[in-house]
Amino acid sequence: MESIPKFEIHELSKKKKKYCLCIPVINEGKRIEKELLRAQKNNISDCVDIIICDGDSTDDSLELKKMKKLNVNTVLIKKDIGKQGAQLRMGFHWALERGYEGIITIDGNNKDSIEDVPKFVNKLEEGYDFVQGSRFIKGGKAINTPLIRYLSVRLIHAPIISLTAKKWYTDTTNAYRAYSKKYLTHPEVLPFRDVFMGYELLAYLSVRADQLNLKTIEIPVKREYPKNQKTPTKISFLKGNSNLLKILFKNLFKAYNPKGE
């Protein structure tokens, strides 16, 4: 049985494009505005509909008139329990119901190269089902990456995800990705389950496509952390990373795969 969080829909424009860009946010303040300004400057709304997947922010960063001016197509506001996974389930469900053929995701904290969205669209057009952005492959750029982040991704996260997927990936914490409709609606994927409340869904979708022999690829992107500033993240160092490791190992042992496998 599907589990979809309760949410509000603020449709600022009709569906225009074949693909959409879902941006999960909560209290991102000026960061999301700066990211959307970059998207506007690079004409990103010419190739995707921009969908904000809000976790019920309280900082007034998503004022609807401002969002419309920034070429946002729709703002979805979660009114239910759950964190990132619930926001993504909300966004994915709504996007698929609206008829999009693929969904691109990017964080809303202005760290990622939103100008690279057309590259993801091109890969979806080429028939790829899962497209992972990577700052660590040829053509990618990792700027001001905190050392602990770099070591955690390269020595722990990427090896575990790659082992689970049985394919080598280099930048597995990166939420800059694309998913085909075929992948998200595959009967052996079933992403709309309430087990996916936090980071679980990203970890699961990192590996499930390869487990099902769907078409996958990494493409180069840029991720830039602010210099001499606090790292923008929603993951606490001790508790957050401990929970993340638990999720990675549950994923390795197929805990999130549909029952009966």
Q: How far is CA 39 from CA 50, 112, 127, 166, in A?
A: 9, 11, 25, 34
What SS3 class is residue 21?
Answer: strand
- Mind listing the pLDDT tens digit for each residue in 89-144? 999 999 999 999 999 999 999 999 999 999 999 999 999 999 999 999 999 999 99
With H, G, I as helix, E, B as strand and everything else as coil, classify residue 148.
Answer: helix
Task: Tally Cβ neighbours within 10 Å of residue 36.
Answer: 25
Query: Which CATH number describes the domain made up of 7-252?
Result: 3.90.550.10
Model pTM?
Answer: 0.94
Q: Where are the domains of the chain?
A: 7-252
Q: Where does the pLDDT of residue 238 fall: very low under 50, low under 70, confident under 90, or very high at 90 and above?
A: low
Identify the pLDDT of residue 157: 96
Residue pair 240/173 in contact (Cβ under 8 Å)? The answer is no
Residue 228 has pLDDT above 80, yes or no: no
pLDDT of residue 260: 55
27-55: average pLDDT:
98
Helix (H) or strand (E) holding 238: helix 238-252
pLDDT of 235 strictly over 50: no
Cross-sheet strand order for the sheet of 177-180? 7-11, 72-78, 49-54, 19-25, 102-105, 177-180, 130-134, 216-220
Indicate whether 237 pLDDT > 70.
Answer: no
Q: How far apart are the first and last CA of the chain?
A: 17
Q: pLDDT per residue over 145-181, tens digit each?
A: 999 999 999 999 999 999 999 999 999 999 999 999 9
Q: Which of 33-42, 94-103, 238-247 has the lowest mean pLDDT?
A: 238-247
Confidence of residue 230 (pLDDT cuts 50, 70, 90): low
Rg, the chain, Cα only: 17
CB atoms within 10 A of CB 116: 20
DSSP 116: G
* Amino acid identity at 56: D
Q: What would the mean pLDDT of 250-259 be, rounded to a whole number?
A: 95
In the chain, what percentage of residues exceed pLDDT 70? 95
Rounded mean pLDDT, 2-26: 97
